[in-house]
């Protein structure tokens, strides 16, 4: 007992001693809001298919530090509203989040996209699609067949899990709220698994879940689903910078993204050997098999230049659906 108490006393003393000297690991320069900041704050929001978020952005951060000459503090944030509000008050300098989050942010914050992810060396390969899937033998082969059916979506604010499909449905003359029974499953994987389990007749989810993620995890097998709809491409994940930053810094970010990709980042020494992977086959014969860095949460090859106009498809979807989440009045 006595020794226990002594140990505790020592620990307490150690905590206080540690506090007295040394800077907190979370200490920050006092001013990060001016246009000549001492460091850049980089926020990443998990997208539907991101894994190991912070680790996968480390090489990207290293590239930006190299080209801007500024230290970059990266933070993974679970909620898009948190990042957008920090952008409104000019406290997040660079952010990577879903395309729909950019649509929302562009209304309230002074931000601009400078790059978007690119899954292969092919320009525009970062685009994603929404798939409509059903169980084999359900008799559903087109959007029109969905009238009166139970349909699983992901979330009303998900582009691939609802908005893109809703726009297509409306163009086909079907009201996604009235003419069918929408069920919001909360996530892509649950929408697919519950559709297979029979809770709904069809499901709309991001393509990668059906073609890659769920089969890779052993959660669905080939032949569990039949695809009856593929949406128009939706622009990929944007990298967004604050307009309050000096042109120099913005140019630095753009340069970092133009200059490096997952493969050349290895040569530049942006990732340790144990953080490297093999470049996959879709990246083309030139690089396939050579070592590559993780380059962002989606396993991208590179970030290609992007402009605000690239995100017009989202605005069109919002115009068609007049969805509540689109907040046209803002």
Partner 1 sequence: MPTTLTPPGTRGRTPAPAPARPPRAPAATWVIPLILGAVTVFGLWWIDVRPAAIAAGFEDITRLLGRMFPATTGPVPELAALVVETLQIAIAGTGIAALVSIPLAAGAANTFTGPRWVQWLCRTLIVVSRAVPSLVFAIIFVRIFGLGPAAGALAIAFHSVGMIGKMMTDVFEEISAAPREAVNATGANRFQVFVATTFTQALPQMTSFVLYRLDINIRASSILGLVGAGGIGVALQRSIGSLDYPRAAGIIAVIIVLLLVLELISNLVQRAVSEHAGDTKHSMTFPPGKELSSPGWNAPRVGRSAGLLAGVVLFILSLSALSISPDRLARGWENAVAMLTGFVPPVFTAEIALGLFESLVMALTATTFGVLIGLVIAVFSTDHLVKVPVLGWALRGVIVVVRGVPDIVYAIVFVAALGLGPFAGFLALAISCTALASKFFTDALQNIDPGPIRALEAVGAGRLQAFVAGAWPQFVPSFIGNSLFTADLALRESAVLGIVGAGGIGFLLHESVTSIDYQSTAGILIGLIVVVVTVEQMARWARRKVI
Binding residues for partner 1 restricted to 35-54, rule: CB under 8 A = 41, 43, 46, 48-51, 53
Nearest CA-CA partner of 126 in 99, 93, 156: 99
The token pair at 8 is 């505790």
**Cβ(94)–Cβ(40) under 8 Å?**
yes
By beta-carbon proximity to partner 1, the closer residue of 199 and 258 is 199
Whose Cβ is closer to partner 1: residue 12's or residue 36's? 12
- C-alpha–C-alpha distance, residues 38 and 178, integer Å: 53
Under rule CB under 8 A, residue 184 binds partner 1 = yes
State yes or no: residue 104 binds partner 1 (CB under 8 A). Answer: yes
- The one-character DSSP state at 210 is I
**Size, binding site for partner 1 by CB under 8 A:** 71
Candidate residues 16, 139, 178, 285; the one interacting with partner 1 per rule CB under 8 A: 16
Q: Count CA atoms closer than 13 A to 190's CA, side-chain side.
A: 8
Q: Does 217 bind partner 1 (CB under 8 A)?
A: yes
Q: Residue 64 CB: number of other CB atoms within 10 A?
A: 27
Candidate ranges 74-82, 140-148, 224-232, 250-258; the one touching partner 1 (CB under 8 A): 74-82
Least CB distance from residue 166 to partner 1, whole Å?
14
Binding positions for partner 1, 130-169, rule CB under 8 A: 152, 155-157
Q: Does 15 bind partner 1 (CB under 8 A)?
A: yes
- Asked if 245 interacts with partner 1 (CB under 8 A), we say no
- Nearest approach in angstroms of CB 154 to partner 1 is 10
Cα–Cα nearest to 291, from 273, 268, 309, 314: 273
Quote the CA–CA distance of 311 and 48 in Å, as a whole number. Answer: 18
3-state helix, strand, coil in the chain (%, to 5): 40, 20, 45
Q: Does 183 bind partner 1 (CB under 8 A)?
A: yes
Q: Which is nearer to partner 1, 87 or 127 (CB)?
A: 87
């Amino acid at each position: 007992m006595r020794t226990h108490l002594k140990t505790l006393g020592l620990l307490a003393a150690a905590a206080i001693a540690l506090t007295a000297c040394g800077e907190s690991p979370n200490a920050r320069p006092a001013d990060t809001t001016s246009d000549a900041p001492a460091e850049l704050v980089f926020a990443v929001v998990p997208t539907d298919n991101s894994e190991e978020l912070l680790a996968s952005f480390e090489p990207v951060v290293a590239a930006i530090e190299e080209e801007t000459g500024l230290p970059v503090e990266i933070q993974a944030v679970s909620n898009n509203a948190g990042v957008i509000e920090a952008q409104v008050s000019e406290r997040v300098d660079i952010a990577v989040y879903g395309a729909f989050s950019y649509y929302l942010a562009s209304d309230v914050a002074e931000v601009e996209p400078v790059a978007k992810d690119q899954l292969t060396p092919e320009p525009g390969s970062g685009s994603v699609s929404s798939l409509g899937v059903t169980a084999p033998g359900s008799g559903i082969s087109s959007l029109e067949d969905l009238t009166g059916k139970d349909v699983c979506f992901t979330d009303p604010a998900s582009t691939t899990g609802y908005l893109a499909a809703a726009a297509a449905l409306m163009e086909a003359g079907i009201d996604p709220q009235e003419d069918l029974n929408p069920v919001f499953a909360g996530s892509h994987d649950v929408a697919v698994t519950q559709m297979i389990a029979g809770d709904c007749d069809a499901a709309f989810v991001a393509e990668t879940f059906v073609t890659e993620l769920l089969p890779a995890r052993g959660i669905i097998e080939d032949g569990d689903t039949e695809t009856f709809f593929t949406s128009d491409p939706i622009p990929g994940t944007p990298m967004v910078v604050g307009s309050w930053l000096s042109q120099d810094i913005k140019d630095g970010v753009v340069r970092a993204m133009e200059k490096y990709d997952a493969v050349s980042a290895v040569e530049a020494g942006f990732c340790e050997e144990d953080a490297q992977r093999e470049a996959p086959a879709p990246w083309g014969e030139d690089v396939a098999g050579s070592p590559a860095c993780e380059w962002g949460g989606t396993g991208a090859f590179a970030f290609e230049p992007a402009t605000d106009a690239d995100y017009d498809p989202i605005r069109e979807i919002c115009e068609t659906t007049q969805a509540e989440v689109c907040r046209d009045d803002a």
